[in-house]
A = this chain, B = another copy of it.
Amino acid sequence: MAVRRPGNDSPRLTARGAATRARIVTTAANLMFRQGVTATTLDQVVDACGVSKSQLYHYFPDKEALITEVIAMRENHMVSSQKPQLDQVRSMRDLERWRDSIVTSHWEREVPYRCPIGSLATELACRYDDARQSLAAVFARWQELLANGLSRMRESGELDPGADPAKLAVAFIAAMQGGYLLAETMQDERPLVVALDMALDHIKAQVKTPVASLTQADN
């Protein structure tokens, strides 16, 4: 699969054309999220979107071109939903609030416990190297947003100078992804909560420990 850079070969679009194109991408992304990429056919996208197949082909020469745009859309969504929160991270309390928002967003929006990016990665990484690379870049970006917050915590002295923000961020995103997978399979949010709490505890272990809690741990 030759995954092109998004938008590279798009024709100049009218406002209406751009809206139709965006609607096709959103519809495809939703279908792929709920049933998987391979299981989603262009016929299903056309039906769900209310466009003709020739309209779809006008914007996307093939399914691969559509997948490329879905990945780009998911990256934009991740950044627009995660960056405002992660840019505010300066303390453990901020991280706990972020953890809470991850858990509650699923039942608030009534979407399954399933990461839109993680589920794309599991299905695409093994087959399409371009898509794999794009998704690796999305994860790297996500980890960076979190690592920046952890770096601020280290600079302010909340985290130990020896703490490694990049590594802690990788561990957190891994816990989140594994938590999603178990939560979806078990249809139970608890594995996600347990995994995120482990990742938070892992960061907390890098918080300079006050003497009082050491004494308590020694009991």
Chain A contacts to B: CB under 8 angstroms: 34-36, 38-39, 112, 114, 118-119, 121-123, 125-127, 132, 135-136, 139-140, 167, 170-171, 173-179, 181-182, 184-187, 190-192, 194-195, 197-199, 201-202, 205, 209, 211, 214, 217-218
Contact = CB atoms under 8 A, between A and B. Distances in A.
Q: Per DSSP, are chain A's interface residues mostly helix, strand or loop, or mixed?
A: helix
A77 B126 CA distance: 21
Contacts of A125: 184-185
30 contacts: A36-B123, A39-B127, A121-B181, A121-B185, A122-B122, A122-B123, A123-B123, A125-B185, A132-B187, A136-B187, A139-B182, A139-B185, A167-B194, A170-B182, A170-B190, A170-B194, A171-B197, A174-B175, A174-B181, A174-B191, A174-B192, A174-B194, A174-B198, A176-B178, A177-B177, A178-B178, A198-B199, A209-B217, A209-B218, A211-B218
Contacts of A176: 178
Contacts of A190: 170
B184 A121 contact: yes
A142 to B, nearest CB: 10
A34 B126 contact: yes
Given A199-B198, A209-B218, A217-B209, A178 B174 contact: yes
A140 B35 CA distance: 24
Contacts of A182: 139, 170, 173-174, 177
A136 B174 CA distance: 19
Given A126-B184, A182-B139, A182-B170, A175 B194 contact: no
A198 B198 CA distance: 8
Contact of A185 (B127, B132, B195): B132
